[in-house]
Amino acid sequence: MSNSKFEAFIGAVVVAAAVAFVIFTGSTTQSFNTARGSYPIEASFRSLEGVALGTDVRLAGVKIGTVSDIALDPQTYRARTVLSVQSGIDIPDDSAAVIASEGLLGGTFVEIVPGASLDILPAGGELEDTQSAVSLTSLLLKFVSGGGQ
Task: Kindly report, residue by residue over 51-103, the tens digit of the pLDDT.
Answer: 999 999 999 989 999 999 999 999 999 999 999 999 999 999 999 999 988 87
Q: At 143, is the pLDDT very low, low, confident or very high (cuts 50, 70, 90)?
A: confident
Neighbours of 3 (CB within 10 A): 7
Over the Cα atoms of the chain, what is R_g? 21
* pLDDT mean over 8-33: 70
What pLDDT was estimated at residue 1? 54
Instruction: Identify the CA nearest to 63 among candidates 38, 95, 94.
Output: 38
Ordered by start, the domain boundaries in the chain are 1-32, 38-141
What pLDDT was estimated at residue 25? 67
Half-sphere exposure of 31 (CA within 13 A, CB side): 9
Q: Is 124 left (phi over 0), alpha (psi -120 to 50) or beta?
A: left
What pLDDT was estimated at residue 33? 46
Question: How far from 143 is each of 70, 75, 135, CA to CA, in Å?
Answer: 31, 33, 13
Task: Kindly report, residue by residue over 35-51, the tens digit of the pLDDT.
Answer: 468 999 999 999 888 89
Q: In whole angstroms, what is the distance from residue 70 CA to residue 52 CA?
A: 8
What pLDDT was estimated at residue 27? 59
Instruction: Identify the CA nearest to 49 among candidates 144, 136, 142.
Output: 136
What pLDDT was estimated at residue 98? 93
The DSSP code for 105 is: S
Half-sphere exposure of 119 (CA within 13 A, CB side): 6
More confident residue, 11 or 138: 11
Q: In whole angstroms, what is the distance from residue 62 CA to residue 88 CA?
A: 14
CA-CA-CA-CA torsion sign (38, 24, 57, 111): positive
